[in-house]
Structure 1
């Protein structure tokens, strides 16, 4: 692989990480604010965990795509599966 290609891949990865960390920071900031607002205005009726839960599912999905689960069905998997199927079709 050429240096230019490696640089491009590294730059794309840094961009993915940057977007994820911004998402995480915003999640923490906003949900902390919602928790404080809820606990100071109506502590007898807790509701702040609902947006935290919903957004948390989205954040977890984002983290899987950046750090893990995306590798299971990512580009490498696609290429490997295509080669596997091509060999299978060739044998048939």
Structure 2
């Protein structure tokens, strides 16, 4: 793998991480705002947690996509493994 390809892969990885952290930051900021709005306007009817829970599921999915088995590293490893297997035939 040449230097340019390694740089490109590293840049893609940084973009993935950056996207996740931006998503997480927005999630936290918006949910804090929604909690405040909910508690000030209608403290007897708590609705903010619906947004927090369902958007939180999206955050978890995004984290799994960036850090988990579905990440690029796993894909690349699997592709390499299958290519090597094919070469041995």
The answer to whether the superposition gives a TM-score over 0.5 is yes
Q: Which runs of 5+ in 1 are unaligned?
A: none
Note closer, same or farther for the CA distance 1:13–1:44 as it changes in structure 2 (3 Å cut).
same
User: Within 5 A, what are the aligned runs for 1:1-92?
Assistant: 1-71=1-71, 74-81=75-82, 86=86
Give the TM-score normalised by structure 1.
0.80
Let me know the Cα RMSD of the aligned residues: 2.0
In structure 2, distance between residues paired with 1:24 and 1:73: 23
- May I ask how many residue pairs the two structures share in their alignment? 87
- Measured after TM superposition, the shift of residue 17 of structure 1 is 0.7
Note closer, same or farther for the CA distance 1:81–1:30 as it changes in structure 2 (3 Å cut).
same
Q: Which runs of 5+ in 2 are unaligned?
A: none
